[in-house]
């Protein structure tokens, strides 16, 4: 997890990073969030009493009004109150927002989506998150975040997803899905470069390792990544027909590590899959803010919510 401290002009003045504890426990996880925020504030050389507000980008659906996180499929945390403990701990306004919503809002305010009326963001990583900014507002339901494009079904009765359903985009195109297919290729002796750097351990087959293996000549790994990017394009094509975005932003670790593969494959799939009347109505771009998209977007959204 990454925590950043910004001044009133959204210049970063401090940050801290810690490993997410994931399924090791919710209580420990919240404690880790507190520790990371405290370290980020210390690195900025300020006291926590000077915090004007905290924005938290959380993976998974949540209720921003009540401060309850409803589900985090890849962490195993469900139906827990996150806003109030942090509000008590730091004594300032706290708002929670889906992490990709935060990232897309950051790109809308400061990056690749500036001045667009409708921005769609899709960030493949451990899972696949989506977000939409429409006329300056984060698209949500009445009492929960939405645009969970990673859990749109693209293959009926396909692979099991972390959400419990089958055939979700996330089960076919997330980094976990790619890593599993790449590990199988290593086991079969088809990816010698990846064998040397990561072996078959999924925890080692991360975005950078995949990119390095492709650069070193592992053609099978490249095809696995391209196939996943094509599935991503299919999911995005469905969204294009629903919201007609002006800008489609691709972000997340996989895209940052292999921007050309992802942008090329997604553009080609969209060209084939969307209705002709939609083909020239949008542009596909790569995130400009990288890691800062989520933290900067969460901070900006917290400012927006606090000011009302």
pLDDT digits (tens, 9 = 90+) for 268-301: 999 999 999 999 999 999 999 988 999 999 999 9
CA end-to-end distance (rounded Å), the chain = 28
Q: What is the set of domains in the chain, with CATH numbers?
A: 2-98+291-307 (3.30.420.40), 112-286 (3.30.420.40)
Res 231: pLDDT = 98
Q: Are 269 and 233 in contact (CB under 8 A)?
A: yes
Q: What average pLDDT does this structure show over 94-102? A: 94
Q: Which pTM does this prediction carry?
A: 0.90
What is the average pLDDT across 136-145? 90
pLDDT tens digits along 71-81: 887 677 788 89
pLDDT value at 28 more than 80: no
Compute φ and ψ for 250, nearest 5 degrees. -100, 130
pLDDT of residue 19: 79
Q: Which of 75-89, 110-124, 201-215 has the lowest mean pLDDT?
A: 75-89
Residue whose token pair is 């990073």: 17
- Which residues, other chains included, contact 144 with Cβ-Cβ below 8 Å and sequence gap of 6+? 61, 62, 63, 64, 70
pLDDT tens per residue across span 144-200: 889 999 999 999 989 999 889 999 999 999 999 999 999 999 999 999 999 999 999
Q: Is the pLDDT of residue 57 over 90?
A: yes
Strand ranges, E, within 66-205 = 68-72, 77-81, 94-98, 118-124, 128-134, 137-138
C-beta atoms surrounding 276 within 10 Å: 6
Looking at the chain, the whole-number percentage of residues with pLDDT higher than 90 is 81
CA distance 206 to 209: 5
pLDDT 10s digits, 195-243? 999 999 999 999 999 999 999 999 999 999 999 999 999 999 999 999 9
Average pLDDT over all residues of the chain:
93
Long-range CB pairs of 241-244, under 8 A, 24+ apart, other chains included? 241/274, 241/275, 241/278, 243/118, 243/120, 243/132, 243/134, 243/139, 244/118, 244/278, 244/281, 244/282
Instruction: Give the whole-angstrom CA distance, residue 120 versus residue 138.
Output: 10
**What average pLDDT does the segment 16-31 reach?**
75
pLDDT of residue 1: 86
* Residue whose pair of structure tokens reads 């088809």 in the numeric block: 190
Cβ pair 5, 15 in contact under 8 A:
yes
Which tokens go with 271? 């060209």
Q: Please identify which residue in the block is written with the tokens 């507190």.
A: 34
Looking at per-residue confidence, does 7 or 71 come out higher?
A: 7
What's the rounded mean pLDDT across residues 83-98? Answer: 93
Q: How many whole angstroms separate alpha carbon 57 and alpha carbon 281?
A: 30
- DSSP 8-class letter at 53: -
């Amino acid at each position: 997890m990454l925590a950043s401290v910004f001044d009133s002009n959204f210049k970063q003045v401090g940050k801290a990073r810690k490993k997410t504890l994931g399924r090791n426990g919710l209580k420990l996880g919240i404690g880790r969030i507190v520790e990371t925020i405290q370290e980020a504030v210390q690195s900025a050389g300020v006291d926590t009493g000077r915090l004007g507000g905290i924005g938290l980008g959380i993976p998974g659906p949540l209720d921003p009004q009540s401060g309850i996180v409803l589900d985090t499929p890849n962490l195993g945390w469900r139906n827990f109150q996150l806003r109030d403990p942090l509000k008590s701990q730091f004594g300032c306004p706290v708002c929670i927002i889906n992490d990709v919503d935060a990232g897309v809002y950051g790109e809308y305010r400061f990056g690749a989506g500036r001045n667009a009326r409708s921005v769609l963001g899709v960030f493949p990583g451990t899972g696949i998150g989506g977000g939409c900014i429409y006329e300056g507002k984060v698209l949500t339901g009445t009492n929960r975040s939405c645009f969970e494009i990673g859990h749109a079904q693209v293959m009926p009765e396909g692979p099991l997803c972390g959400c419990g359903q089958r055939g979700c985009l996330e089960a076919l195109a997330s980094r976990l899905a790619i890593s599993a297919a790449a590990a199988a290729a290593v086991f079969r002796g088809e990816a010698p470069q990846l064998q040397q750097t990561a072996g078959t351990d999924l925890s080692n087959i991360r975005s950078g390792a995949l990119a390095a293996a492709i650069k070193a000549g592992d053609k099978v790994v490249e095809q696995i990544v391209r196939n996943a990017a094509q599935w991503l394009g299919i999911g995005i094509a469905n969204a294009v027909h629903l919201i007609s975005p002006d800008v489609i932003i691709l972000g997340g670790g996989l895209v940052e590590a292999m921007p050309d593969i992802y942008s090329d494959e997604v553009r080609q799939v969209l060209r084939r899959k969307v209705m002709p009347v939609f083909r020239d109505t949008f542009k596909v771009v790569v995130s400009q803010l990288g890691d800062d998209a989520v933290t900067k977007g969460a901070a900006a959204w917290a400012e927006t919510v606090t000011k009302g």
